[in-house]
């Protein structure tokens, strides 16, 4: 039971206040330049967004990184459920068979390239109970409402009473694969649930560095199967794949697209999965969505440098030896690796760096959005590759917006427009995906004017150039030639 008194700031609020206080001169400068229209950002951003993005940039771009365990712990604090939402927490049961893990490992092996040819054996994750939060909109609540003292099952049934549609979003939160939690993303997923009239299954997947690649992939696949084929004793009924849309932001966008690739590869291998005593098909979802997906795990494309002034993400130094976090109980990893999420030999595996995937053929419709952010090049290149492979793509680029702006500056008109486009796509995918038409648009700042983008000009980079930039980021060498079997 909380002892926090109404009107008195919490420890988290006090920590935030102390973190922001040193930025007071910066805040004053941003406000002054904005009011006088002397900053470039003032042409595109409202004042509140300009201040938030500037402060975030200053807080994240530090001379020395903080310890991994310290930063991770800060993002895993649960403030409790408050406001107009239902949350019912559940955990998937562990199947008696190993079939779902075997299928994942076969997919990883089937998609491996020359970079993994002489790699050490990949660690095999355990199948564990995967927690998730069923989240829905609670219309009759107020902004100060808390959840009633009832069981999780009763909360779920109350949530279901308010669902207007069977639409189910299988959601993966962002956080660079080592930060955040469904709790940090409740405000966002609540809005997704409200605007779709459906519900969100927000997954608490395992985080790195404790549980690196491919643990999160296994948790994602288990969560999908838990929706499709509820284990005995589940509180929910089976969800049709026609009512499921994958979703995620940043690293969660990577995971959303990676889960799609896993499903595609399992289907290419013509496999079924033994799950609680039955052989189960692996169907495609109705659609897939990704907001600012982090698909280039090694930060190799030029927008990581070029778009720094529009984004709050720090420069691309994830793999630099001189910018490694101080040692603690989580990092460096054992055995040692450069990347916090993935072993060295697998950094360019197409289930890690999704922009290097060989094919997206047979995918359901995909929605992708980004801003003028550090990840813009990789997101636009991925959208282009999807289009080249015949996938129905709805792509939106928001002028002057930073990374994952819909969650960071939710009050601005661009964020509201993004959520509107995002949820309209979800509803269309669940109602009749054949009616979705590919579109590629720039959404102008403030006015929200929509300008068509020529899909053939979405990216200036060829596949060879992208692969070489990724390899050069890691080793300074160009990509090895693919291992092509001779045709008889």
Q: Residue 451 is encoded by which pair of tokens?
A: 């300008």
Residue 256's φ and ψ, nearest 5 degrees, are -60, -45
**366-371 and 287-291 as β-strands: parallel, antiparallel, unpaired?**
parallel
Q: For residue 480, what pLDDT is reported?
A: 61
Q: For residue 22, what pLDDT is reported?
A: 82
Q: For residue 21, what pLDDT is reported?
A: 76
Neighbours of 473 (CB within 10 A): 20
Residue 375's φ and ψ, nearest 5 degrees, are -90, 5
The closest alpha carbon to 254, from 222, 284, 286, 299, belongs to: 299
Compute the radius of gyration of the chain from its Cα atoms: 22
Helix/strand/coil for 214: coil
Neighbours of 262 (CB within 10 A): 24
Q: For residue 3, what pLDDT is reported?
A: 41
Q: For residue 77, what pLDDT is reported?
A: 94
Q: For residue 478, what pLDDT is reported?
A: 65
- Cα dihedral sign for 255, 259, 264, 265? positive
Q: For residue 475, what pLDDT is reported?
A: 85
Q: Residue 51 is encoded by which pair of tokens?
A: 């201040």
The closest alpha carbon to 465, from 377, 383, 350, 347, belongs to: 377
Bridge partners, residue 199, by sequence? 168
Measured distance CA(201)–CA(223) in Å, rounded:
9
Helix/strand/coil for 274: strand
- State the DSSP code for 160: H
Measured distance CA(257)–CA(482) in Å, rounded:
23
The closest alpha carbon to 139, from 194, 183, 188, 182, belongs to: 194
Cα–Cα distance list, 407 to 18, 27, 32, 426 (Å): 23, 21, 26, 18
Residue with tokens 């696949």: 221
Contact 473/298 with Cβ under 8 angstroms?
Answer: yes
The closest alpha carbon to 291, from 197, 388, 413, 376, belongs to: 376
Cα–Cα distance list, 395 to 365, 366, 377 (Å): 11, 8, 13
- The ranges of the chain with pLDDT < 50 are 1-7, 481-488
Q: Residue 105 is encoded by which pair of tokens?
A: 């490992």
Q: For residue 9, what pLDDT is reported?
A: 53
Q: For residue 33, what pLDDT is reported?
A: 96
- State the DSSP code for 314: P
Cα–Cα distance list, 387 to 97, 265, 349, 359 (Å): 38, 19, 21, 11
Q: Residue 60 is encoded by which pair of tokens?
A: 């994240």
């Amino acid at each position: 039971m909380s002892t926090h008194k109404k009107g008195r700031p919490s420890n988290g609020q006090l920590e935030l206040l102390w973190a922001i206080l040193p930025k007071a001169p910066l805040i004053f400068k941003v406000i002054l330049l904005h009011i006088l229209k002397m900053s470039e950002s003032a042409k595109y951003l409202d004042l509140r967004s300009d201040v938030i993005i500037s402060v975030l940039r200053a807080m994240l771009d530090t001379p020395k990184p903080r310890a991994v365990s310290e930063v991770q712990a800060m993002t895993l604090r649960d403030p409790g459920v408050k406001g107009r939402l239902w949350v019912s927490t559940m955990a998937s049961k562990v199947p008696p068979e190993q079939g779902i893990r075997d299928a994942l490992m076969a997919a990883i092996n089937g998609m491996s390239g020359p970079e993994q040819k002489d790699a050490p054996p990949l660690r095999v994750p355990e199948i564990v109970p995967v927690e998730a939060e069923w989240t829905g909109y609670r219309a009759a609540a107020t902004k100060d409402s808390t959840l009633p003292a009832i069981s999780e099952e009763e909360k779920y049934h109350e949530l279901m009473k308010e669902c207007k549609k069977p639409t189910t979003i299988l959601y993966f939160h962002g956080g660079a694969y080592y930060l955040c939690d469904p709790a940090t993303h409740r405000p966002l997923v609540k809005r997704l649930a409200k605007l779709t009239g459906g519900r969100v299954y927000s997954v608490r997947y395992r985080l790195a560095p404790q549980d690196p690649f491919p643990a999160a992939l296994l948790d994602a696949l288990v969560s999908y199967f838990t929706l499709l084929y509820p284990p005995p004793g589940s509180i929910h009924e089976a969800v049709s794949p026609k009512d499921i849309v994958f979703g995620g932001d940043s690293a969660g966008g990577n995971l959303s697209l990676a889960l799609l690739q896993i499903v595609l590869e399992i289907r290419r291998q013509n496999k079924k999965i033994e799950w609680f005593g039955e052989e189960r098909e692996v169907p495609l979802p109705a659609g897939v969505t990704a907001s600012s997906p982090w698909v280039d795990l090694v930060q190799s494309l030029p927008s990581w440098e070029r778009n720094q002034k529009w984004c709050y993400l720090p420069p691309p130094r994830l793999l630099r030896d001189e910018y490694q976090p101080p040692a603690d109980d989580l990092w460096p990893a054992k055995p040692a690796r450069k990347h916090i999420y993935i072993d060295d030999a697998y950094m360019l595996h197409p289930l890690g760096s999704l922009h290097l995937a060989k094919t997206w053929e047979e995918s359901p419709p995909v929605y992708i959005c980004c801003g003028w952010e550090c990840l813009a090049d990789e997101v636009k290149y991925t959208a282009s590759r999807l289009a080249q492979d015949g996938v129905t793509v709805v792509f939106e680029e928001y002028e002057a917006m930073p990374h994952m702006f819909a969650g960071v500056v939710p009050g601005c008109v661009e964020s509201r427009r993004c959520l509107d486009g995002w949820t309209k796509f979800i509803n269309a995918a669940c109602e009749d995906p054949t009616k979705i038409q590919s579109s590629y648009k720039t959404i102008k700042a403030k006015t929200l004017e929509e300008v068509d983008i020529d899909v053939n000009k979405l990216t200036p980079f060829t596949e060879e150039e992208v692969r070489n930039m990724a390899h050069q980021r890691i080793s300074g060498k160009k990509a090895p030639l693919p291992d092509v079997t001779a045709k008889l």
